[in-house]
Structures are given as C-alpha cells and as structure tokens.
Amino acid sequence: MDIRSSSSCRHENPLPYIHKVGAPPKENLFKEFKNRVKETMFADDPFRSFKDQTMSRKFVLGLQAVFPILDWGRSYSLAKFRGDLIAGLTIASLCIPQDIGYSKLANLDPQYGLYSSFVPPLIYAFMGSSRDIAIGPVAVVSLLLGTMLRSEIDPTKNASDYRRLAFTATFFAGVTQATLGILRLGFLIDFLSHAAVVGFMGGAAITIALQQLKGFLGIKKFTRKTDIVSVMKSVWGSAHHGWNWETILIGASFLAFLILAKSIGKKNKKFFWVPAIAPLISVILSTFFVYITHAEKKGVEIVRHIEKGINPPSANEIYFSGDYVLKGLKIGIVAGMIALTEAVAIGRTFASMKEYQLDGNKEMVALGVMNIVGSMTSCYVATGSFSRSAVNFMAGCNTAVSNIVMSLVVFLTLEFITPLFEYTPNAILASIIISAVIGLIDYDAAILIWKIDKFDFIACMGAFLGVVFVSVEIGLLIAVAISFAKILLQVTRPRTAILGRVPRTNVYRNIQQYPEATKVPGVLIVRVDSAIYFSNSNYTRERILRLLMDEEEHLKAADLPRIEFLIVEMSPVTDIDTSGIHALEELLSSLQKRDIKLVLANPGRVVIDKLHASGFVTLIGEHKIFLTVADAVLTCCPKLPDV
C-alpha cells in the first residue's frame, strides 16, 4: 500500500518532485578494506611527494622524511641561528638545575639527569618535526619511572640493578614510541582524554611537590610511598626531631624568589628570561652560601659528588634476558605512552601557535629513536618539557637548533662544571621542582571541563584523586579506565531526539533544542545520533519504541489523532552492521503490528549500500526511503499547514 493513501494524510494536489536516495555502486571487499586502512593510518598521504619522481629524488625525499633537518636546513640562515642561540642558552640555564632535581625523582644519581639532556636532544634535533619543543627529563615521567622501578628494586640497597632496570625501561619506552610511529598507530594515544590528562597532571604535580618535602624540610627518614596520607604522616611524624631549620630557611627563601621570578615573567612577556635563569641563579647563590658557611656540617643535605664527563655507554647494562625483561617492558610501555602523550600535546600546541603542521607519526619515531639511543648512553626516559618548550618559544627559537645549543651547554657542564655543584643543597633542588610543577595544576581547565561536560569532570577528578590518594600508576589506570568507559557509554547508549518542524520552514530540529518547533500530526520523527552496531542496536530499537509508546499515550490522553508514520532521520548514522539491520527488521515488525508505517530519511552511502545488500530496502519498500525529512513528511502528509 502506498504510504500516501493514509486516511489522515490524503493529498488532493500533485506533489512536487521528491528526490530519492541513490544506491552507490558496489565496492569490492579488497578496495573497501584498502580505503579504510588508508584513511585510518595514512590520512595525510605521506607518500604523495614520491609520485612521479626519479629514484635519486625519491632517495633524497626519503632521507628528508627520516631527517627533517636535511629539508629545513637548506634554508637555514645566520638570522635564524641568532634566535636559536639565545633560546638554547636560555633553556640550558633552566634545564641544568631541573635535570639534577628530576634525576632524584627517578631515584638516580644527578649526572643521569644531565646525561638525558645531552644525547636525546641531539637525536631529536635531526629527526623531530617540531620547531619549538625542548627535550629532556620531565617531572611527571621521572616520578612515574621512579615509583614503578622502586616497586621492583630498592634503589638504595641495589643501585646497580636499579640503574640497569631504568635503562631497560627506557629502551622499551623508545621501542614502544617508535613502533607506534612506524605502524602509524598514533591515534591510540588519543584514547586518553584531555580531561583525564588534566587530572593526572594535576595529581602528579601535587604528588611531586609532596615528595620534595623531604629535601625542603631536611627530613632524613621519609616514607617510600607517594600517597598524600603516607607522606603527611611521615612529615608530621618527624616534626619534633627530623626537620632542619637551616634547610627550611634556604628552601623557603629561594622558593619565594622563584615564585616572584615566575610572576614577573607572567606579567610582562619581555621578561620571560627572568623565570628561565632564576633556577640557575638560585643554585649558584645557594651553593656559594653553603660553601662559605659549611652548612652541610649543620645538617643541610647537599648533592655531593656528581660524576664528571659525558655519557658512558650502557648498552651492555640493558636486560635482554632474565626476570627483569618483562618488568622493564611493562614499565617502559607505561612511561613511554605518558611521555609520548605529553610531547605530542606540547608539540601540537606550539605548532598551532606558529601555524605549521606537525607530523605526529614522525614525532613518535623521533622520540622513540632518541630514547632507544639514550638507553644505550646512560639516559633515562626523555620527552618534551612544557616549561622548557614555553621558554624556548618565548626566547624566539626558530628551529630545533636550539636543542643542539642546549645539548652543547650540557656537554660543557658535564666536562668542566659538575664539581661546582658538589655543595648545592637538596633544598634548592626541591624548591626548583616545586616551583616548576605548580604550573601543571590547571585550575582553569578543570573549571572549564566542569562547565562543558560533567562526565569529563568525573574522569578528571578520578585521575586526580587516584594519583594523590593511592599512587601514580593507579591514577593513570583510573584515567584510562574512565576514558574508555566514556567511549563505551557513548557507543552503547547513543542519543536520540524527537524532531519538529521549525515554523514557516521545511527544517526539522530537536524539539528540546528548539521549543518553537512543532510536531507533525500523525507523524513521529526520531533522529538517531550514532552509528548502529551490535553494541547499541537493541538499545536503539527499544529507545525508538519507548519514544513511540510515550507519544501514543500522550496523544490518547489529549484525544488527538494517532500516529500513522514513524520517520527515522538517519543522516547522523555513519555506519550499520548486521545487528543494526536486524534491529531495524524487528522495529519494522513491531510497527506493522501497530499498523504504523516505517519511513527512513537520508541514510548515508555506507548505510544505504548495506540496506540494499541485506534486502531491507525490498522489505520496507524503496518508496519509503527519502532524501530529507521534509520530503518524507511531504509524502506522508502533503496537506501540512504552513505554520
């Protein structure tokens, strides 16, 4: 029976021409699979520049793809070098004291932090695609690595095996990063939502700051746990006999100086160099003060000996067999993913500010290779540092040469200056780390997340509380779990909406969003805002039927005409599988029992192709599939009043 022969919607005048939904040409399975893989993994078409090129030219382009410095280096100039030199010197003054402090977070000797700012930045400068990112150890990864390593090996009782496991974890972190880039699986890191990252970083910042209370207060016996309860018990438990007032005086004085310097830099961008050089100035002044007063004899803990010379080889120290291989693999994967997430986020931020493209997969390969090489040259996991990258950006860097300059300064420090850090008090390193991690607590982002999406805020707070009250690993696990839970919830419980006609138009919109939109008599229009898969097909069918039953009860109570047509708006339905088609068949069967006709509006190319292949189009009738909701309504109710 033609749907236009309904008693409540008979037409008297010829209908205007109504477009029908076209069926796309059949696509073979191999071609469809090939296009899907290409879109997922090669959406940027990285090989397009190789087309119609000679073999020698392809070889050159291949080298430039692996080493971007060979491309932009051809146009490098003295003017660019001037900016890179200033930026490199500036970030070097910031990184040296930070590296010494961050190595303590990883439970490694101070020189390993400096090692990690010498070799990795050189590798990245040749292979990385970001102009602004500054490479080296960072607080969050150092803490995460130190916590996970310490759960396997005691760094005090078994320093040699601990160090070897650190190199092993760094090696596998690099392998993880490089593999993701080579296989072009970078989209996997996007599963860790922005809200979860904000919460994780904020919780890690508080945890890092709490860990510095040992050096800041001069406490000798301190808990090995990282949760806030254990740390505060340890702090207050040692208040009567464990605190050192000279240490507190040094730490508090220079922390105030560092915070003041940071506020000066924020208020006036011209003074960006003030917070950048403040840590080095603090180290020099505090070291000189301790040296002339011999404060170390009064209980002030100092750095003491830092190994002189550049990175010794460590390839023979990496575990490739034995019990520690799997432990190193597990720690490396976790640390590598967190380091990768931070670096890519930083790189994308500054790339958008300077309006250039950042190749995420090249970044992953570059970060992976530098950590693999780093693991063989006594480095631990390095990545992009937000504080150093911000200083690098504001100092006027033009290319990755600023990383080379920073690396050379660290080289000179390792060769000639490390003995001067012997009397550096641990309190000043604690102050530097505390002032650095304060910026990781992003209050504005958390407030914005609360305003935009409450579920996102739950993910944010879950990660934050997990890190602060349990451990860094648990906080990270909660962040990942909640991120996946959100995806599953959205996939399994898609939104639906009842549509109404906007007055004096042929536009149909959600009646909750547009209260002035009116329902069409005798017609219920439902929009499904998701692909229909096995995970949500039953829910979608049941949801549509519930909306239909609710509407029928309302019409019956108001003594209004019954519903004769159910129009499903399918433009947001990007795909459908066999379970989805089966759900539509069951929906059609339920509607036929109620003497209600099912009409589809605007199914996409993929959807209409599958509807034809399954025979559903024949089952429902091709004349019941329309290009727009307006066409469907016009066919069902051609005498619709113009309201």
**What type of residue is 220?**
K
pLDDT score for 4: 47
Beta strands per DSSP E along 353-441: 383-385
Checking if the pLDDT of 190 tops 90, the result is: no
Under 8 Å CB-to-CB from 554, ≥6 apart: which residues? none
- Please state the rounded mean pLDDT for residues 34-40: 56
| Cα distances (angstroms) measured from residue 13 to each of 8, 350, 479, 633 | 15, 62, 61, 15
pLDDT score for 21: 64
* Residues 43, 51 contacting (CB under 8 angstroms): no
pLDDT score for 638: 62
Number of C-beta neighbours around residue 65 at 10 A: 18
* Residues 261, 278 contacting (CB under 8 angstroms): yes
Q: What are phi and psi of 575, to 5 degrees?
A: -160, 165
Looking up tokens 């850090």 gives 421
- Asked which of 7-21, 145-159, 216-230, 505-519 is least confident by mean pLDDT, the reply is 7-21
pLDDT score for 529: 92
- Asked which of 44-58, 59-73, 113-127, 263-277 is least confident by mean pLDDT, the reply is 44-58
- Asked which of 342-356, 460-474, 500-514 is least confident by mean pLDDT, the reply is 342-356
Report how far residue 635's alpha carbon sits from residue 526's, in angstroms, rounded to the nearest whole number.
17
Checking if the pLDDT of 637 tops 80, the result is: no
Q: What are phi and psi of 567, to 5 degrees?
A: -100, 125
pLDDT score for 289: 94
Checking if the pLDDT of 631 tops 60, the result is: yes
Checking if the pLDDT of 26 tops 70, the result is: no
pLDDT score for 92: 94
**What type of residue is 526?**
V
- Asked which of 10-24, 222-236, 253-267, 482-496 is least confident by mean pLDDT, the reply is 10-24
- Please state the rounded mean pLDDT for residues 409-427: 94
Checking if the pLDDT of 200 tops 70, the result is: yes
Report how far residue 400's alpha carbon sits from residue 10's, in angstroms, rounded to the nearest whole number.
72
Predicted confidence band at 11 (pLDDT cuts at 50, 70, 90)? very low
Q: How much is the pTM?
A: 0.80
Checking if the pLDDT of 191 tops 80, the result is: no
pLDDT score for 27: 58
- Please state the rounded mean pLDDT for residues 335-345: 90
Under 8 Å CB-to-CB from 555, ≥6 apart: which residues? 561, 562, 563
* Of 93, 102, 141, the residue nearest 391 (C-alpha): 93
* Of 443, 451, 455, 541, the residue nearest 490 (C-alpha): 455
Structure tokens at 421: 């850090």
Alpha carbon 407 to chain centroid distance?
27
pLDDT score for 12: 45
- Please state the rounded mean pLDDT for residues 148-174: 95
pLDDT score for 7: 46
Q: Let me know how long the chain is.
A: 643
Mean pLDDT of the chain: 88
pLDDT score for 299: 87
Q: Tell me the pLDDT tens digit for each residue of 442-483.
A: 999 999 999 998 888 998 999 999 999 988 888 888 888 888
Predicted confidence band at 22 (pLDDT cuts at 50, 70, 90)? low
Q: Tell me the pLDDT tens digit for each residue of 420-440.
A: 999 999 999 999 999 999 888
pLDDT score for 45: 53
Q: Tell me the pLDDT tens digit for each residue of 567-581.
A: 999 999 999 999 999
Domains, the chain, in order of start with CATH, read 76-218+229-484 (no CATH), 494-636 (3.30.750.24)
Checking if the pLDDT of 47 tops 60, the result is: no
pLDDT score for 146: 94
pLDDT score for 341: 87
- Please state the rounded mean pLDDT for residues 75-92: 93
Q: What are phi and psi of 456, to 5 degrees?
A: -60, -40
Looking up tokens 């190199």 gives 167
Predicted confidence band at 356 (pLDDT cuts at 50, 70, 90)? confident
Q: Tell me the pLDDT tens digit for each residue of 488-501.
A: 888 888 999 999 99
Pairing of strands 508-510, 496-501: antiparallel
